[in-house]
Amino acid sequence: MASWKSYLFVTVQFLCLGLIGLSGPLPTAVGPLALVVCGLLLGLWGLLAMRLSQLSVLPDVRAGARLVVSGPYRLIRHPMYSSLLIACLGLVLAAPLWWRWLLWAALLADLILKLRYEEGMLARAFPDYAAYMRRSWRLLPFVF
């Protein structure tokens, strides 16, 4: 059963994503467009590694879930969150208004809080999660 925190994280996440996505033009410059494409490709790679049957926007560990450590999950524990941040960064750079930067920062803060909450549940559900945490990065290899 999902907690109110799970629903709050997801609500803030989708609110930020929607406002960023609907508040500006699609990128036409090479740099921002490349970020959007890279973010989408990373997200697709993560989906393929996870399988759609395991996909959930809620951070809660479902019964029968398995720990995915292949594909982008070998290096990054939360490639889906990384993909959202990278793609949205490209969108923000296409129309870099102060309030769009604020929305991106809110998305970043929300996803960091969500992943910390999720990692606590994953550590309780999977005995080998602590070892996985030591050999992988949260969002960005060699940085965080």
Answer whether residue 97 is part of any domain: yes
Q: Is residue 33 part of a domain?
A: yes
pLDDT at 140 (0 to 100): 87
Q: Is residue 38 included in any domain, yes or no?
A: yes
Q: Which of 125, 50, 117 is nearest to 83 (CA)?
A: 50
Residue 2, domain member (yes or no): no
Q: Which residues of 47-80 are buried (b: 16+ CB within 10 A; e: fewer)?
A: bebbeeeeeeeebbbeeeeeebbebbbeebbbbb
Higher pLDDT, 1 or 34: 34
Q: Tell me if 70 is assigned to some domain.
A: yes
| Mean residue pLDDT across the chain | 94
* pTM of the entire predicted model: 0.93
Residue-wise pLDDT for 29-47, tens only, equals 999 999 999 999 999 999 9
Mean pLDDT of 7-30: 95
Q: Would you say residue 144 lies in a domain? A: no
Q: How many folded domains does the chain comprise?
A: 1
Tens digit of pLDDT for each residue in 78-101?
999 999 999 999 999 999 999 999
Q: Is the pLDDT of residue 142 over 80?
A: no
Domain assignment of residue 39, given as a range = 16-55+66-134
